[in-house]
Chain A
Amino acid sequence: MIIVQILINGLLLGGFYAVIGVGFSLIWGVTNIINLAHGAMALLGAYITFFLFQEYGIDPFLSLPFSFLCLFIFGYILQRFLLNLVVRAQIFMLLILTFGIEIFLVNFMTTFFSADFRSITPEYAGTSFVIGDIVIPYIRLAVFAICIFVTFLLSLFLNKTWHGKAIKATSLDLDAAMMVGISPAKIYALTFAIASGIAGVAGSLLPLTQAFSPSIAGSLTLRAFTVSILGGLGRVEGALIGGILLGIAETLSSYFIGESYKNAITLGIMVLVLVIKPTGLLGKKYFAEVKH
């Protein structure tokens, strides 16, 4: 029965990984920017939630929309006025720029918020519902539900609204999109803003389940990276599948092989996917490749 518990843990963990990864995947697929500052931006969301809880006692779940809004605005400004300047340049330039932004953000957070590890323990922390031998913590379940909801909302946005379809159009064929009156700069900025907002939401969920500090920014970006590779770039559903797969892979490998090999195995899986199906498990063609 312990294996069922392990699988459920993996599933719930996977939902969280999906939310970390979906923004990263979207930006990469649509604007061709590999946002190495993704983890750092998620941490900004984490700090917003942490400080709201600590100073004003605001429940972490209630701070999510606020976190989304703050990171949305931040992402929009960052893309529109900084990243947009180099978005047509070689991918190497973009990597350096986002890497620089990551360094800046991490050091900013370390200087002003200190390197202390933070965590939130609200009243209802640790409560779970029990079915026989299986324990399902409420917070983890809520985090999973939010992740599914966010992914669903994003999918709805991309497929049903004008702006969403414009984003997809831009990533498929930039010239054609421009011909029908879509402004790439604005669309890129919108995409980046949404992805940043979602990163902020993911970060806001961090303090509930673990302790965070600016030093974990890199590992969050790595998770986002792995999820994107597994699921296929730019595909929202792909990120969800990729995230859940990653979560289950982690918990299973921890159980069968050992916790210390967990990272080696999950990265091994990523390499395997790159070798066997480089476009990811759900990706058809690499979105951006359709460009010329």
Chain B
Amino acid sequence: MKRLGFMIVILSLICLLAAPLFAADVIKFGAAISLTGKLAKEGNLVKMGYELWKETVNKKGGIKIGNKYYKVDIKYYDDESDPNRAAKLVEKLITEDGIKLILGPYGSESVFSTSAIAEKYGALMVQGGAGADKLYTRGFKNLFGVYTVATEYMDDTLKMLQNKTPKPNTVAIVYSNDIFSTQVAQGAKASAQKYGYKVVYYKDYPKGTQDLSTVIVEIKAKNPDILIGCGHFQDTVVIVKQSKDYKLNPKAIAFSVGPTLPDFVTALKGDAEYVFGSAQWTPVLKYKDPVFGSNANFVKAFKSKFRVEPNYHAAGGTTAAIIFQRAIEKAGSFTDINKIRQALLSFNEETLFGKIRFDSTGKVVGKGMPVIQILKGTQRTVYPDNVAETKPVYPKPAWR
């Protein structure tokens, strides 16, 4: 009996030690993402980005560590566009599902809440879904993001316009009062002052408001050269519509969010013409990529899988996953969190999203913010000059 007992113990020990060898050769990632709710559209686009990466990597055999290939799998939960729910779901991913490689949700509020959970449990998060500066001021070590941060959103736009003729001197800034938009506005104000503009109007409106007639009328009285709107798709449409209603005619209208989404032109038709938008990424930027070969290849692969053009939400998702993959390959491990973190901190590669490098807080640096303009009903990349498709049109003709 004693011998049998001893045998059983030895056998169990062997099984325990050998278990990792028998464990499926799968690297598990986890993501809580907004598949329903206010941010459902963007959340689903990010998920499509993750899925395309997963499919592409697995087709090549998987992530290579040493001589072995590991397939990847992603476990998703729907956070219903609710940051609190997202946090709970990420906690579930880490504590119940045992996943320590977290792909980020969409939206600054959700990334804010979920990254705190990841930090608490020592899990890593790479996200391509939020750009609020506040994300990187908490001294966290485990969060990395590929979006240019909110305060830098309008910088390139203002830089681009400063030397155009007739020279614009005054700027009106209007913004939605959520974390992200407020920071974009603050950055826009700082950038405007940096480039010598005078800020003649600077006010916020409630998130998701459906009527901005008073604000438009007030701005009209100040007669600014440039109108900058920092909000989300819904309010951007309202601002353009009501600018036309009340005949507000600045020389340039630029939005932080909105013009890059295809629905912008669908909703506004001809009224979308000449509007500028800031883009984290556009399909025509000529960047090389470690997984897809080039940005153009990524666009082609996305189109053939999903039958729609990718936008920056999807591209951001794919890039976050690519960066995770490259860091794991460099670290030579998918379980050693410290090694992977080191690899992320020393990351310095060109990806489909741009040249990616992180500072010690996990914020991406040096990527810039390309500018697009709606011309003849299509989105054209007009800045930076060396990757632009065409020149920007300025000033904007008055509403008829």
Where the two chains meet, the residues of A that have a C-beta atom closer than 8 Å to any C-beta of B are 2, 5-6, 9, 13, 107, 110, 114-121, 125-126, 128, 130, 135, 137, 139-140, 209-211, 213, 215-216, 219, 250-251, 254-255, 258-260, 262-263
A121 and B210 within 8 A (CB): no
Q: Are B206 and A260 in contact (CB under 8 A)?
A: yes
Known: A116-B41, A118-B267, A128-B246. A250 touches B206 (CB 8 A): no
B69 at the interface (CB under 8 A from A): no
The interface stretch among B60-68, B212-220, B302-310 is B212-220
Name the one of A120, A125, A216 contacting B244, with C-beta atoms under 8 angstroms.
A125
Any A CB within 8 A of the CB of B40: yes
Question: Does B241 belong to the interface (CB within 8 Å)?
Answer: yes
Which of A9, A114, A115 is the most central at the interface, judged by chain B CB atoms within 10 Å of its CB? Answer: A115
B40:A110 contact, CB within 8 angstroms: yes
Q: Residue of A at shortest CB range from B207?
A: A260
**Is B270 an interface residue, CB under 8 A from the partner?**
yes
Interface residues on B, range: 35 or more
What are 24 contact pairs spanning A and B, CB under 8 A?
Answer: A2-B218, A13-B211, A110-B40, A115-B36, A115-B37, A116-B41, A117-B234, A117-B267, A121-B271, A126-B241, A135-B245, A135-B247, A137-B246, A211-B233, A213-B234, A251-B213, A251-B214, A254-B215, A258-B203, A259-B203, A259-B204, A259-B209, A259-B214, A260-B206
B247 touches A130 (CB 8 A): yes
B245→A254 contact, CB < 8 A: no
CB distance from A150 to the nearest CB of B (A): 20
Shortest CB distance A276–B (Å): 26
- Which chain B residue has the least Cβ–Cβ distance from A111? B36
Q: Which residues of B contact A (CB under 8 A)?
A: 36-38, 40-41, 177, 203-206, 208-215, 217-218, 221, 233-234, 237-238, 241, 244-247, 263, 267-271, 399
| Neighbouring B residues of A107 by C-beta, 8 Å | 36
Give the docked Cα–Cα distance between A120 and B263 (Å).
Answer: 11
Residue numbers in A under 8 Å from B270 (CB-CB): 121
Name the one of B203, B217, B267 contacting A6, with C-beta atoms under 8 angstroms. B217
Q: A136 to nearest B CB, angstroms?
A: 9
Q: Are A211 and B234 in contact (CB under 8 A)?
A: yes
Chain A residues with CB under 8 Å of B204's CB are 258-260
* Docked CA distance A259–B204 (Å): 7
Cβ of A258: which chain B residues have Cβ within 8 Å of it? 203-204
Q: Verify A117–B237 contact, CB threshold 8 A.
A: yes
| Chain B residues touching A, majority SS | helix
Q: Is the CB of A119 within 8 A of B399?
A: no
Asked if A215 contacts B37 (CB within 8 A), the reply is: yes
Contact B245 A211 (CB under 8 A): no
| Residues in A neighbouring B244, C-beta threshold 8 A | 125-126
Contacts of B36 in A (CB 8 A): 107, 110, 115
Q: A114-B41, A135-B247 are contacts. A13–B271 as well, Cβ < 8 Å? A: no
Q: What's the Cα separation between A125 and B210 when bound, in Å?
A: 17
- For the complex of A and B, 7 pairs with smallest distance between CB atoms: A126-B244, A119-B267, A137-B245, A259-B205, A211-B237, A115-B40, A254-B214
A219 partner, pick from B208, B217, B246, B263, beta carbons under 8 A: B208
**CB-CB < 8 A to A259: which residues of B?**
203-206, 209, 212, 214-215
Q: Cβ of A263 and Cβ of B40 under 8 Å apart? A: no
Which chain A residues border B246 with CB–CB below 8 Å? 128, 135, 137
Q: Which residue of A lies closest to B233 (CB)?
A: A117
List chain B residues, Cβ under 8 A from A13: 211, 213
- In the complex, chain A residues whose CB is within 8 Å of the CB of B203: 258-259
Q: Closest Cβ of chain B: how far from A18's Cβ, in Å?
A: 15
Bound form: Cα–Cα A130–B268 in Å: 23
For the A-B complex with A211-B233, A255-B214 known, give 17 more contacts whose Cβ atoms are closer than 8 Å.
A2-B217, A5-B217, A117-B237, A117-B267, A118-B263, A119-B237, A119-B241, A119-B267, A121-B268, A128-B245, A128-B247, A135-B247, A209-B241, A210-B211, A210-B237, A219-B210, A259-B205
Q: A128-B247, A260-B177, A260-B206 are in contact. Are A211 and B238 (CB under 8 A)?
A: yes
Determine the chain A residues whose CB is within 8 A of the CB of B234 once the complex forms.
117, 210-211, 213
Q: Which residue of B lies closest to A247 (CB)?
A: B211
Measured CB to CB, the nearest residue on chain B to A130 is: B247
- Within 8 Å CB of B177, what residues of A? 260
Residues of B within 8 A of A251 (CB): 211, 213-214
Which residues of chain A come closer than 8 Å to B214, judged between CB atoms? 6, 9, 251, 254-255, 259
User: Across the interface, which residues of A come within 8 angstroms of B212, CB to CB?
Assistant: 259
Least CB distance, B35 to chain A, in whole angstroms: 10
A216, B208: Cα distance in complex, Å: 8
* A139-B205 contact, Cβ under 8 Å, with A118-B267, A259-B212: no
Q: Whole-angstrom distance between the alpha carbons of A213 and B267 in the complex?
A: 12
How far apart are the CA atoms of A130 and B217 in the complex, in Å?
13
Most A C-beta atoms less than 10 A away, residue of B36, B215, B245 = B245
Minimum Cβ distance to chain A for residue B224 (Å): 16
Bound state CA distance, A125 and B247, in angstroms?
Answer: 12
Which of B213, B233, B269 is the one whose CB lies under 8 Å from A121? B269
Partner of B271, one of A2, A126, A211: A126
